[in-house]
Amino acid sequence: MSAVSLSLDVPEPEAERVEALLWDAGATGLEIRDREAPPMPGVRGPSPGEAIVVAWFEARAPAEAALEDVKAWVPEVRALLEEAPETDWSTAWRARIRSTRVGRLWVGPPWETAPAGTVALTIEPKMAFGTGDHPTTALCLAAVEAFCSAHPGASVLDVGTGTGVLALMARKLGAIRVVGVDNDPMSVTLAQENAALNGIGGVELSGATLDAIDGRFDLVLANILANTLVELAPALVQHTRVRLVLAGVLIHQGDEVREAFERAGAVSDGGDRAGDWVRLDFRVS
Ligand SMILES: C[S@@+](CC[C@H](N)C(=O)[O-])C[C@H]1O[C@@H](n2cnc3c(N)ncnc32)[C@H](O)[C@@H]1O
């Protein structure tokens, strides 16, 4: 089967929103070329003030639909839709993965070496979200580090675990009971592979739904999109004993998501921001 690549030249400030929109539209992989991530030699780079966002889709129809969505948002977009052999996108995607440093935490691909003194997690970039370099993941990693350092032996639930990055890092930081779930079977498989790659045992990774998970957890993490978070609000609050951390929320969605969780009984307790994304923290007692 061949894949389709959609290359979009957009004003740089729009790149993150376009990226979110493309994930929403079913992209299976994404690459951004901008000032922070200049292109590999021989690959076309962005014009000044612009970024190039390349998205891969399994078929032409969702790529065309995604382009219409982007045009509605960014009318000045310049787009190129091309057939791409499936192997191409995975190679390109892998080649562009960067390691991430958050406090003393390091997350990176197998071909990079972690700096000495870091708590390091190796994530094999494949078709699951959570290689560490997305702002929403980085925001959550900071919350995991702060909470697990202050609460040795905590229990942690990671809803929408993707590659398992947050759950596995929580375990590395000393969490005792760690559960990671994802409704995408491919992500669950890859999270399990990443646990083995890092020699981490004792993390329960599965496709379980929240109603099938017993008990409450000291820390609950959910880096999912805003509409899903709102749907899951009561169940997420019910599973939290101390702290609930939400990400995957764009700035303009923050109030709506916060209010949904306050209605479900959580108490807003600050958060953080990176680019267009916010992290929302709550206390639950
Ligand atoms: C943005 S990724 C986050 C991955 C990783 N936790 C991180 O922070 O990088 C969101 C993940 O949530 C999963 N997901 C979406 N809706 C879900 C749901 N209702 N229940 C469980 N997982 C869900 C997706 O399959 C995806 O892997």
Whether ligand 1 lies within 6 angstroms of the CB of 182 is answered as: yes
Whether ligand 1 lies within 6 angstroms of the CB of 130 is answered as: yes
Whether ligand 1 lies within 6 angstroms of the CB of 20 is answered as: no
Instruction: Look up the CATH number of the domain holding residue 230.
Output: 3.40.50.150
Atom of ligand 1 nearest to the CA of 161: 6
> Among 125, 117, 121, which residue's Cα sits nearest to residue 140?
121
Q: How far does the centroid of ligand 1 lie from the alpha carbon of residue 36, in Å? A: 25
Q: How far does the centroid of ligand 1 lie from the alpha carbon of residue 164, in Å? A: 10
User: Picking from 92-101, 161-170, 266-275, which range would have the lowest pLDDT averaged per residue?
Assistant: 92-101
Whether ligand 1 lies within 6 angstroms of the CB of 194 is answered as: no
Atom of ligand 1 nearest to the CA of 182: 22
Which domain does 195 fall in, by range?
100-283
Q: Are residues 106 and 77 in the same domain?
A: no
Whether ligand 1 lies within 6 angstroms of the CB of 132 is answered as: no
Name the residue of 102, 121, 123, 161 whose CB sits within 8 Å of the most ligand 1 atoms, as the mutation to test its pocket: 161
Domain final residue, candidates 95, 129, 163:
95
Whether ligand 1 lies within 6 angstroms of the CB of 213 is answered as: no
3-state secondary structure of 273: strand
Average pLDDT, integer, range 229-254:
96
Whether ligand 1 lies within 6 angstroms of the CB of 245 is answered as: no
Whether ligand 1 lies within 6 angstroms of the CB of 77 is answered as: no
Whether ligand 1 lies within 6 angstroms of the CB of 99 is answered as: no
Q: Are residues 149 and 226 in the same domain?
A: yes
Average pLDDT, integer, range 241-265:
96
Q: Are residues 121 and 215 in the same domain?
A: yes
77, HSE (Cβ side, Cα atoms, 13 Å): 24
DSSP string, 105-174: EEEE-TTS-PPTTSEEEE---SSSS-SS-SHHHHHHHHHHHHHHHHSTT-EEEEES-TTTHHHHHHHHTT
Domain final residue, candidates 61, 95, 129:
95
Q: Are residues 45 and 158 in the same domain?
A: no
* Number of neighbouring beta carbons within 10 Å of residue 214: 7
Q: Are residues 30 and 110 in the same domain?
A: no
Whether ligand 1 lies within 6 angstroms of the CB of 8 is answered as: no
Q: Are residues 226 and 130 in the same domain?
A: yes
User: Picking from 38-52, 184-198, 217-231, which range would have the lowest pLDDT averaged per residue?
Assistant: 38-52
The predicted-structure confidence for 97-108, as pLDDT tens digits, reads as follows 678 999 999 999
By CB atoms closer than 10 A (0-12, 13-18, 19+), residue 192 is: middle
* Residue 127 scores a pLDDT above 90: no
Q: Are residues 90 and 58 in the same domain?
A: yes
Residue tagged 């398992």 (tokens)? 164
Residue 62 and residue 181: Cα distance in Å, rounded? 27
Whether ligand 1 lies within 6 angstroms of the CB of 227 is answered as: no
Instruction: Look up the CATH number of the domain holding residue 71.
Output: 3.30.70.120
Q: Are residues 170 and 269 in the same domain?
A: yes
% of residues, the chain, pLDDT over 90: 69
Q: Are residues 81 and 188 in the same domain?
A: no
Token pair recorded at residue 65: 């639909």
Q: Are residues 228 and 160 in the same domain?
A: yes
Is residue 56 within 8 A of residue 84, CB to CB? The reply is yes
Domain final residue, candidates 64, 79, 95:
95
Per-residue model confidence (pLDDT) at position 58: 85
Atom of ligand 1 nearest to the CA of 158: 6
Residue tagged 């083995």 (tokens)? 196
Token pair recorded at residue 90: 């995975």
* pTM attached to this predicted model: 0.74
The predicted-structure confidence for 29-85, as pLDDT tens digits, reads as follows 888 888 776 665 567 888 889 999 999 888 899 999 999 999 999 999 999 998 875
Residue 191 and residue 167: Cα distance in Å, rounded? 9
The predicted-structure confidence for 151-177, as pLDDT tens digits, reads as follows 999 999 999 999 999 999 999 999 999
The total of structural domains in the chain comes to: 2
Q: Are residues 71 and 177 in the same domain?
A: no
Atom of ligand 1 nearest to the CA of 128: 27
Q: Are residues 144 and 268 in the same domain?
A: yes
